Structure 1
Amino acid sequence: MPRTSPAPSPAAFADAGLAPVGTLAGVGPSLAARLDRIGIRHLQDLWFHLPLRYEDRTRLTAIADLRVGASAQVLATVDAVERGFRYRPQLRVALVDASQQTLTLRFFHFQRAQVERFTPGARVLCFGEVRQGQYGPEIIHPEYRLLAEAAPLQLEDRLTPVYPTTEGIGQRRIGELVARALERLPEAAALELIPAALCHEAGLASLRACLLVLHRPPRDADVAALLAGTHPAQGRLAFEELLAHHLGLRELRDRVRRRRAPALCGNQGLPQRLLAALPFALTAAQQRVVAQIDADLAEATPMLRLVQGDVGSGKTVLAALAAARAIDAGVQVALVAPTELLAEQHRQTLRAWFEPFGVEPVWLAGKVSGRARSSALAAVAAGAPLVIGTHALMQEAVVFSRLGLVIVDEQHRFGVHQRLSLSEKGRHGDRVPHQLVLTATPIPRTLAMAAYADLDVSVVDELPPGRTPVRTVLVAASRRGEVVERIREACGQGRQAYWVCTLIEEADEADAARGRSRDAQAAQVAWQELALALPGLRVGLVHGRLKPREKQATMQAFKAGELDVLVATTVIEVGVDVPNASLMIIENAERLGLAQLHQLRGRVGRGAQASSCVLLYQPPLSALARARLQVLRETNDGFRIAERDLELRGPGEVLGTRQTGAVEFRIADLARDGELLPLVQRIATRLRERDPAAAQRIVARWVGSTIHYAGA
């Protein structure tokens, strides 16, 4: 007899939802391992494993009414059968229905027995996507059934869900598993984790009813809304998923804030002396954020602040002033950046600002080795006041004696767990360092509310005076010669230019190393071509495969005006400041996201002269690519660009690489469901006050333990 699972009582919901998927009949270790690959480990994972789309098999469509590109179900009789072998084995079956129109079924993989069953006059019920064939509409490899002549026709009474699957699990199997799991779905009162009063206040429909609608939509369901993700039932689940992530991040924040931090109130006046020595005055926005940071650092609870600002808004000086306050109070500061180039830029800038006051930054990156590394590690352990580096600062061998402030630049390049692991190096008992994280990638308000609920957010929404808007133009790659002449003209007027090469072939994460190689190769070719096309001009090259010393020397030569043109990969995306550079050319611009293009464009327009950015693209542009690039032509406002990027590409791409700690949702879509976030915040606050146990269960249902990075 097959193994069966009794339905749980309402009180046993927690055990029922978290019961291993192996408790379902027919799920052995092998199938359970395959399900684990798509994140299905417990019964509740099957409850919330929602369909990708739906197929309508509740009705028939006449052949005369078929639309190319749409899926349809047809009942017809076999008119003719043809097997062909001219180029490859092929079976074509011509069907005719009452409309006297013909539909062709085409098979490239078939067996002899299959051919023999398709006899003229046989009734066939088939389903598939309609394409335009040589002789009219056709369906390639349809799903079909041969019906006995007198057999009654039985159609589905509901829309048919199509689920995400993995190798070794077909649609029929996953559908059966979901159906069995739904048999053990508790009653509404037991399934609902949000208290009834809050559900009523938020106008939330029954979670149980919504799940059943999404897995078994009735034939009169709004298919268009289901496919667009805007059906009320989907909105109900999106709300709870957003609520779970928000609650998890709030709990993370509370756990950190329950610890202590050093109250940084120095008396040597270093911040004031540094500010007085700067060759520029702070903008009003910078002054406002400095005041917020100072207030945080004066408290004995850990600062958790994100400072976001557009390209060139002056975030580095904010980090320097925070570091000065910490150093003045006698603690160590660690500043970490995602690339050696950016970290080196910070090192140079901060060394120039701090050396007059007797503070020499310690440099620690992956390429620092031998005696230099030993010396750096010893200095850090001995209490060096300012340490600057890359991911190397997070390595186990790096030991701080009194770390009091952690500054993370380009936060989205690191996972939350990495940021917290560096903070752990300054932990003494329940005392932890303050944290200041920076990003030059403007984050849409909705995304910041969801991704950074564990942080206070400051916005530097004002550019320093003297910056000029960058004019952006789109140019087809076929006009490359005109662009080269434009470079010659700009350099003839004493200006400098960037030429940025991006990957011509896309590389996935597993192919990253080879992708970087192709990237560098493309830059090498462009460098050679431009050197030939621009005789008399000094053309430099920088890419990720160069040694850090070589990269830095080339960048320094460009900054000093010893090079006219710099050919580079996207390693120059952040941190490079050359006010005399007024022209930026970006090859294959259609392959980059808006945020990255905006970052690259921010390398020019840093001085008083008019600057331009040329986006070279390979035609023809898709509608999506054209829409994205058009946004850059219309505005230099990084926040507006980020909002549009979120709509077009989704949160994972706007935040950067999808690392542990980045926001990823199963159902919710921040671009689509962002309007729910104010309500999510309100309900989260009430839930934490009234029923913290329910809040924890909601987090466990949707997020599990993944929100608690590094035991923060």
Structure 2
Amino acid sequence: MFVSTLDTTIEFLKGVGPKRAELFQKELGIFTYEDLLNFFPFRYIDRTRFYKINELDPELPYVQILGRITSKEQIGEKHKKRLVARLTDDTGSIELVWFQSLKWVDENVTKGKVYIVFGKPTVFNGSFSISHPDLENYPRPATITGNLRLQPVYHSTEKLKKFFLDSKGIQKLQTLLIEQNLKEIVETIPSHILEKYQMAGRKEALLNIHFPKDVKSLKSAERRLKFEELFFIQLQLLHNKQLREMRFKGHSFDIVGERINTFYKEILPFELTNAQKRVIKEIRLDTQRGIQMNRLVQGDVGSGKTVVALMSMLLASDNGYQACMMAPTEILARQHYQSIVDLLKDRLVKVAILTGSSTKKQRTQLHSELEAGEIDILVGTHALIEDKVVFKNLGLVVIDEQHRFGVEQRAKLWRKNLTPPHILVMTATPIPRTLAMTLYGDLDVSIIDELPVGRKPIETRHLYEGQRLRMFGFMKEEIKKGRQVYIVYPLIKESEKLDLLHLEAGIEQLSYHFLLPDYQISIVHGKMSNADKQFEMQRFIDHKTQIMVATTVIEVGVNVPNASVMVIENAERFGLSQLHQLRGRVGRGAEQSFCILMSGNKLSPDGKLRLETMVKTNNGFEISEIDLQLRGPGDISGTQQSGVLELKLADLAKDQQILQEARNTVIETLSTDPNLENPQNSLLRTYLSKRSRGIAFDKIS
């Protein structure tokens, strides 16, 4: 088996050694030559311009000067020593100052020699100086990585800098690595794909990403490496999807029987939207194919995903199978359970709930009934994955807000039947198209893009602290009409105690304006027990309280159609997606609802854009695209935990076209050559074999 020198441990690169290697591993996750090669610059400094000394300005971020060292001396005593050199050109002179590594600098900086000097100019006592400048010999050596026009700048850390592994130090190692190992860089993308998109080869791209000849070469390198990154993510996702469809024969739901027909024709109290009907049809077709369904249903807050899930579970029941629905929190699980029970009106199937707070007696009875097949639909939290939970014949698993569950937690549900159950994943977090293609690229995607008939768009207003009395007055008007109000405070991650104090201060403020007994307040926050939270929420649901003061614990899972006002305090502290989720707690009844965003007077540009976006639109998908631009993919939907989105160069907000090209190319390749047996696809076959850690390539038959 061929072993590349790029697999060599970083310790053996000249200038690294054991201590620096350990730091590279801990600080940057760099273990091998290949890892260092794939550690790309995050920006570049234009080294084409030389400044004259009389052109210097303290406002300049950096300058490059060509001059001669005319003097050099060490000044000061013991720990306060510094080395000062004078650099002169034909317009004047400037001081170069070093406070560290004085012996090395003294030995390597020669009086009378011409240098290229690079650094940040500062003014001290009326004169310009540069501290710890970069010095290069003039003329620059003509090596393959020399004559830099665009100097790469690499991320570093304080610990690395102590070992002289700042950006300049990393650049030197990259220079050495590439000069010694350029011939070891092998191509990863087949030539016919490179030709189709007129892309640079990998060797050329890696050389120009670290040491670009010019802007054109840099752009070409970036495009090639971004395509490669996105292409191989799509290849893995879509190949896994192909494998799963061929390997995992699914239950075939051939019957549309009495339960689903009775529910649709006699019990369902409203007309389904066209979007709901379309998604149910897609699920129906999926479950007839005899292979395991894996479908993601995206739907904005209040779009009716629960009804779609229920009808899918009734379809399973009509075909003799059990179904379960797993939610990330007890509040949300109970909400789904109650919605399903209310919709079914105690008819057609038996529904049960299992959560962490279910008693031992309840669990014993439930386990027995479930294993006997007496429970048709089980709703619950993580408790569903416990080994004691045994189904007689599980045919469909519905997972709400999948990103809140770990991979292993989800997999435990699949294993609860010899034939894997169909999987329906739901999310109320609208996902930008590029993120969905990358994060859920192996799933079939359905979108519910209509709200139920009669739903009025929520009016959103942005008020500043000085308009608080106006906000309180509006709350009172709505409560007089018999409506209810949420007030949500931000959860400050650094200090939950601080958050509770903030919430308590808010309650104190409210008590001045909303006196007992005219107004009753429910209080819910993350420090409360589940039982206490449930008690307080139930009081609000039963209309025993008019105002619910809460932290973001109510972001999902509270459905009170009578609540018409959502007040979000310090709204500028929330992300767009979270603001949209919170707003979705109102507008669930027939009455006009309102969302009031309270903020301080000083807003960052991003904070201002978020609040303006919320006022302008109710469209969750439009909001998600702006959120992606602002935050990047790592913070949306918990995707930083997914392992899929560890992108080095590609930006899902900006590189939509490259992603689409990459995905289309993979689809085209796998449709014509599913096993990648064509010699022109041998590089792709090798890649997948390596990713399966030495296991023989999985063949689709």
**TM-score of the pair, normalised by structure 1:** 0.83
* Partner of residue 459, structure 2: 471
2:385 to 373, 394, 397: 394
- Give yes or no for contact 2:199–2:220 (8 Å, CA) kept in 1: no
- State the alpha-carbon separation in 1 of the partners of residues 90 and 407 from structure 2: 61
**Unpaired runs of at least 5, structure 1:** 1-10, 508-514
- State the alpha-carbon separation in 2 of the partners of residues 705 and 321 from structure 1: 43
- Give yes or no for contact 2:613–2:623 (8 Å, CA) kept in 1: yes
Q: Secondary structure at the match of 1:672?
A: coil
Deviation at 1:530, TM superposition (A): 1.3
Q: Write out per-residue CA displacement over residues 73-94 of structure 1, whole angstroms, 9 at most, x where no aligned residue.
A: 346779999999xxx9898989
- Give yes or no for contact 2:251–2:395 (8 Å, CA) kept in 1: yes
- State the alpha-carbon separation in 2 of the partners of residues 681 and 697 from structure 1: 19
Map 1:235-314 onto structure 2 (within 5 A).
235-257=223-245, 258-266=247-255, 268-275=257-264, 276-314=266-304
1:523 to 503, 527, 530: 503
Provide the alpha-carbon RMSD of the alignment: 3.8
* Partner of residue 531, structure 2: 549
- Give yes or no for contact 2:556–2:582 (8 Å, CA) kept in 1: yes
Q: Write out per-residue CA displacement over residues 463-486 of structure 1, whole angstroms, 9 at most, x where no aligned residue.
A: 111111222222223433332232
Tell me, yes or no, if structure 1 residue 606 matches structure 2 residue 606: no
* Partner of residue 485, structure 1: 473
Q: Write out per-residue CA displacement over residues 304-359 of structure 1, whole angstroms, 9 at most, x where no aligned residue.
A: 11110111111010001111111222222121112221111011112223462264
Amino acid at match of 2:489: C
- State the alpha-carbon separation in 2 of the partners of residues 585 and 477 from structure 1: 13
1:640 to 585, 608, 622: 622
Q: Write out per-residue CA displacement over residues 577-632 of structure 1, whole angstroms, 9 at most, x where no aligned residue.
A: 22222221112222221111111111122223332212122332111221222211
- Give yes or no for contact 2:352–2:378 (8 Å, CA) kept in 1: yes
Q: Write out per-residue CA displacement over residues 16-56 of structure 1, whole angstroms, 9 at most, x where no aligned residue.
A: 44454455456655544433333333432222221122234
Q: Write out per-residue CA displacement over residues 667-701 of structure 1, whole angstroms, 9 at most, x where no aligned residue.
A: 11111111112211222134334436532444578
- State the alpha-carbon separation in 2 of the partners of residues 28 and 398 from structure 1: 53
Deviation at 1:543, TM superposition (A): 1.5
* Partner of residue 215, structure 1: 210
Greater alpha carbon shift after TM alignment, 630-639 vs 113-122? 113-122
Amino acid at match of 2:258: G
1:193 to 188, 192, 205: 188
Deviation at 1:216, TM superposition (A): 1.4
Q: Secondary structure at the match of 1:583?
A: strand
Deviation at 1:375, TM superposition (A): 4.3
Map 1:559-574 onto structure 2 (within 5 A).
559-574=541-556
Deviation at 1:563, TM superposition (A): 1.4
- State the alpha-carbon separation in 1 of the partners of residues 260 and 581 from structure 2: 29
Distance 1:378-1:705 versus aligned 2 partners, 3 A rule: farther
- Give yes or no for contact 2:316–2:395 (8 Å, CA) kept in 1: yes
Q: Secondary structure at the match of 1:671?
A: coil
- State the alpha-carbon separation in 2 of the partners of residues 184 and 121 from structure 1: 33
- State the alpha-carbon separation in 2 of the partners of residues 101 and 620 from structure 1: 45
- Give yes or no for contact 1:127–1:142 (8 Å, CA) kept in 2: no
Q: Write out per-residue CA displacement over residues 554-580 of structure 1, whole angstroms, 9 at most, x where no aligned residue.
A: 222222322111111112112322222
Tell me, yes or no, if structure 1 residue 178 matches structure 2 residue 168: no
* Partner of residue 622, structure 1: 604
Q: Secondary structure at the match of 1:567?
A: strand
1:54 to 40, 44, 51: 44
Deviation at 1:658, TM superposition (A): 2.0
- State the alpha-carbon separation in 2 of the partners of residues 703 and 39 from structure 1: 21
Greater alpha carbon shift after TM alignment, 476-485 vs 208-217? 476-485
**Unpaired runs of at least 5, structure 2:** none
* Partner of residue 29, structure 2: 39
Map 1:52-451 onto structure 2 (within 5 A).
52-57=42-47, 59-63=49-53, 64-66=55-57, 68=59, 70-74=61-65, 126-129=117-120, 141-144=131-134, 157-158=147-148, 159-165=150-156, 167-168=159-160, 170-171=165-166, 173-183=169-179, 185=181, 187=183, 191-218=186-213, 220-221=214-215, 231-257=219-245, 258-266=247-255, 268-275=257-264, 276-354=266-344, 356-357=346-347, 359-368=349-358, 370-383=360-373, 384-426=375-417, 428=418, 431-451=419-439
- Give yes or no for contact 1:261–1:432 (8 Å, CA) kept in 2: yes
- Give yes or no for contact 2:487–2:550 (8 Å, CA) kept in 1: yes
Distance 1:460-1:32 versus aligned 2 partners, 3 A rule: same
- State the alpha-carbon separation in 1 of the partners of residues 273 and 139 from structure 2: 75
Deviation at 1:413, TM superposition (A): 2.5
- State the alpha-carbon separation in 2 of the partners of residues 122 and 22 from structure 1: 35
* Partner of residue 512, structure 1: none
Q: Secondary structure at the match of 2:346?
A: helix
2:666 to 675, 684, 688: 684
- State the alpha-carbon separation in 2 of the partners of residues 187 and 450 from structure 1: 32
- State the alpha-carbon separation in 2 of the partners of residues 614 and 136 from structure 1: 55
1:590 to 560, 565, 572: 572
Greater alpha carbon shift after TM alignment, 277-286 vs 477-486? 477-486
Q: Write out per-residue CA displacement over residues 54-105 of structure 1, whole angstroms, 9 at most, x where no aligned residue.
A: 2345653234244626222346779999999xxx989898978658689787
Amino acid at match of 1:406: V
Count of aligned residue pairs for this structure pair: 669
- State the alpha-carbon separation in 2 of the partners of residues 39 and 549 from structure 1: 43
- State the alpha-carbon separation in 1 of the partners of residues 609 and 267 from structure 2: 45
- Give yes or no for contact 2:328–2:382 (8 Å, CA) kept in 1: yes
Amino acid at match of 2:509: E
Amino acid at match of 1:193: T
- State the alpha-carbon separation in 1 of the partners of residues 258 and 539 from structure 2: 36
* Partner of residue 645, structure 2: 663
Distance 1:266-1:546 versus aligned 2 partners, 3 A rule: farther
* Partner of residue 684, structure 2: 695
- Give yes or no for contact 1:244–1:702 (8 Å, CA) kept in 2: no
Q: Secondary structure at the match of 2:194?
A: helix
- State the alpha-carbon separation in 2 of the partners of residues 647 and 349 from structure 1: 35
Tell me, yes or no, if structure 1 residue 575 matches structure 2 residue 571: no
Deviation at 1:643, TM superposition (A): 1.2
Distance 1:112-1:292 versus aligned 2 partners, 3 A rule: closer
- State the alpha-carbon separation in 1 of the partners of residues 112 and 34 from structure 2: 48
- Give yes or no for contact 2:52–2:91 (8 Å, CA) kept in 1: no
- State the alpha-carbon separation in 2 of the partners of residues 479 and 99 from structure 1: 63
- Give yes or no for contact 1:102–1:136 (8 Å, CA) kept in 2: no
Greater alpha carbon shift after TM alignment, 59-68 vs 292-301? 59-68
Q: Secondary structure at the match of 1:438?
A: strand
Q: Secondary structure at the match of 2:611?
A: helix
Greater alpha carbon shift after TM alignment, 540-549 vs 259-268? 259-268
- Give yes or no for contact 1:261–1:302 (8 Å, CA) kept in 2: yes
- Give yes or no for contact 1:416–1:661 (8 Å, CA) kept in 2: no
- State the alpha-carbon separation in 2 of the partners of residues 22 and 110 from structure 1: 25
* Partner of residue 501, structure 1: 489
Q: Secondary structure at the match of 2:654?
A: helix
**TM-score of the pair, normalised by structure 2:** 0.84
Deviation at 1:439, TM superposition (A): 0.8
Deviation at 1:291, TM superposition (A): 0.8
- Give yes or no for contact 2:74–2:82 (8 Å, CA) kept in 1: yes
